[in-house]
A and B are shown apart, each in its own frame.
Chain A
Amino acid sequence: MRVGFFVTCLVDLMRPSIAFAAIRLLESGGAQVLVPPTQTCCGQPGYNSGDRSGAKALAAKVVSEFEECEYLVAPSGSCSGMIKTHYADLFRDDPELLSRASALGAKTYELTDFLVNVLKLDRVPGGFSGRVTYHDSCAGLREMGVKQQPRALLARNADVTLIEMPDCETCCGFGGTFSIKYGEISTRMADNKCQQIVDTGADAVVLGDLGCILNIEGRLRRRGDMKTKVMHIAEVLAGDSSESGARG
Chain B
Amino acid sequence: MHFKERAHASLGDAQLQQNLKKFKTKFVTTRREALTELDDVEGTREAAGAIRQRALDDLDAWLELFETNATARGAVVLWADTPADVNRHVIDIARRHGSNKIIKSKSMVSEESALDHALESAGLTVVETDLGEYILQINDYEPPSHIIGPALHKNKAEVAELFAAKHGTSRKSEISDMCLEARKVLRSHYLSADMGISGGNFFVAETGSVVLVTNECNATLTTTLPKVHVAISGIEKVVPTLEDVATLMRLLPRSATGQSISNYVDILTGVKGEGEFHGAEHMYFILVDAGRARVLGSEVKEALRCIRCGACMNHCPVYQNIGGHSYGWVYPGPIGSILTPSYIGLENAPDLPQASTMCNQCGVVCPVKIPLPDLQRKLREEEFRRELRPWSERFGLRAWSWLASRPSLFALATRIGARALKVLGGRERLIHRLPLGGGWTDGRDMPAPAGRTFRDLYARRGSGR
Q: Footprint of B on A, CB under 8 Å?
A: 7, 9, 11-17, 19-20, 35, 37-41, 43, 45-55, 57-58, 61, 89, 138-139, 142-143, 169-171, 173-192, 213-215, 217-219, 221-222, 230, 243-247
Q: Please, how many angstroms separate the alpha-carbon atoms of A13 and B403 in the complex?
A: 14
Q: Is the CB of B405 within 8 A of A221?
A: no
* B354 contacts the other chain (CB 8 A): yes
In whole Å, how far is B241's beta carbon from the nearest beta carbon of chain A? 33
Pairs across A and B, CB under 8 Å, 23 listed? A7-B454, A12-B454, A13-B453, A46-B401, A47-B377, A50-B380, A50-B381, A51-B384, A52-B384, A55-B401, A57-B401, A58-B401, A142-B364, A169-B361, A170-B361, A171-B361, A175-B358, A176-B358, A181-B354, A183-B440, A187-B442, A190-B443, A191-B443
Among A12, A55, A215, A221, the residue within 8 A (CB) of B455 is A12
Most A CB contacts (10 A, CB to CB) among B7, B321, B414, B438 go to B321
* B427 contacts the other chain (CB 8 A): no
In whole Å, how far is B77's beta carbon from the nearest beta carbon of chain A? 39
Known: A49-B397, A57-B401. Contact between A174 and B442, CB under 8 A? no
Residues on A with beta carbons closer than 8 Å to the beta carbon of B405:
40, 57-58, 61
In whole Å, how far is A91's beta carbon from the nearest beta carbon of chain B? 15
Q: Please, how many angstroms separate the alpha-carbon atoms of A222 and B453 in the complex?
A: 25
In whole Å, how far is B62's beta carbon from the nearest beta carbon of chain A? 29
Known: A175-B358, A219-B443. Contact between A50 and B450, CB under 8 A? no
Residues on A with beta carbons closer than 8 Å to the beta carbon of B123:
none
* B447 contacts the other chain (CB 8 A): yes
Among A7, A12, A46, A190, the residue within 8 A (CB) of B397 is A46
In whole Å, how far is A81's beta carbon from the nearest beta carbon of chain B? 10
In whole Å, how far is B150's beta carbon from the nearest beta carbon of chain A? 23
Q: Footprint of A on B, CB under 8 Å?
A: 4, 7-8, 11, 317-318, 321-322, 354-361, 363-364, 374, 377, 380-385, 389, 393-394, 397-398, 400-405, 407, 410, 414, 417-418, 421, 429-430, 437-440, 442-447, 449-455, 457-459, 461
Known: A138-B357, A221-B447, A222-B445. Contact between A16 and B452, CB under 8 A? yes
Q: Please, how many angstroms separate the alpha-carbon atoms of A35 and B459 in the complex?
A: 10
Q: Is the CB of B440 within 8 A of A180?
A: yes
With A15-B450, A187-B444, A217-B445 given, name 11 new contacts (CB 8 A).
A12-B455, A13-B453, A16-B450, A47-B377, A49-B397, A50-B384, A52-B384, A57-B405, A175-B357, A185-B318, A221-B447
Name the prevailing secondary structure of the B interface residues.
Answer: helix
Q: A35's closest neighbor in chain B, by CB?
A: B458
Q: Please, how many angstroms separate the alpha-carbon atoms of A177 and B353 in the complex?
A: 13
Q: Please, how many angstroms separate the alpha-carbon atoms of A57 and B397 in the complex?
A: 13
Q: B436's closest neighbor in chain A, by CB?
A: A180
Known: A180-B440, A218-B444. Contact between A12 and B414, CB under 8 A? yes
Q: Please, how many angstroms separate the alpha-carbon atoms of A158 and B40 in the complex?
A: 37
Most B CB contacts (10 A, CB to CB) among A7, A11, A16, A174 go to A16
Q: Please, how many angstroms separate the alpha-carbon atoms of A35 and B454 in the complex?
A: 11
Q: Is the CB of A183 within 8 A of B389?
A: no
Q: Is the CB of A182 within 8 A of B7?
A: yes
Q: Is the CB of B380 within 8 A of A48?
A: yes
Q: Is the CB of B401 within 8 A of A182?
A: no
Q: Please, how many angstroms separate the alpha-carbon atoms of A74 and B429 in the complex?
A: 26
Residues on B with beta carbons closer than 8 Å to the beta carbon of A186:
357, 439, 443
Residues on A with beta carbons closer than 8 Å to the beta carbon of B437:
180
Name the prevailing secondary structure of the A interface residues.
Answer: helix
Q: Please, how many angstroms separate the alpha-carbon atoms of A230 and B414 in the complex?
A: 23
Q: Is the CB of B359 within 8 A of A171?
A: yes
Among B442, B452, B454, the residue within 8 A (CB) of A11 is B454
In whole Å, how far is B437's beta carbon from the nearest beta carbon of chain A? 6
Residues on A with beta carbons closer than 8 Å to the beta carbon of B385:
50
Known: A54-B398, A218-B446. Contact between A175 and B454, CB under 8 A? no
Q: Is the CB of A54 within 8 A of B401?
A: yes
Please list the 10 inter-chain residue pairs (A to B) with the smallest Cβ-Cβ separation, ordered nearest first.
A175-B357, A187-B443, A54-B401, A50-B384, A183-B439, A218-B444, A16-B454, A50-B380, A171-B359, A180-B439
Q: Please, how many angstroms separate the alpha-carbon atoms of A191 and B320 in the complex?
A: 13
Among A47, A215, A243, the residue within 8 A (CB) of B444 is A215
Known: A174-B357, A187-B442. Contact between A15 and B404, CB under 8 A? no
Q: A61's closest neighbor in chain B, by CB?
A: B405
Q: Please, how many angstroms separate the alpha-carbon atoms of A39 and B411 in the complex?
A: 10
Most A CB contacts (10 A, CB to CB) among B7, B318, B356 go to B318
Q: Please, how many angstroms separate the alpha-carbon atoms of A106 and B7 in the complex?
A: 40
In whole Å, how far is B419's beta carbon from the nearest beta carbon of chain A? 11
Most A CB contacts (10 A, CB to CB) among B404, B421, B442 go to B404
Among B317, B393, B438, the residue within 8 A (CB) of A183 is B438
Q: Is the CB of B357 within 8 A of A142?
A: no
Known: A16-B452, A184-B7, A190-B444. Contact between A51 and B397, CB under 8 A? yes
Q: Is the CB of B356 within 8 A of A184?
A: no
Q: Is the CB of B444 within 8 A of A245?
A: no
Q: Please, how many angstroms separate the alpha-carbon atoms of A39 and B450 in the complex?
A: 20
Q: Is the CB of B7 within 8 A of A142?
A: no
Q: Is the CB of B397 within 8 A of A188?
A: no
Q: Is the CB of A218 within 8 A of B442?
A: no
In whole Å, how far is A105's beta carbon from the nearest beta carbon of chain B? 16
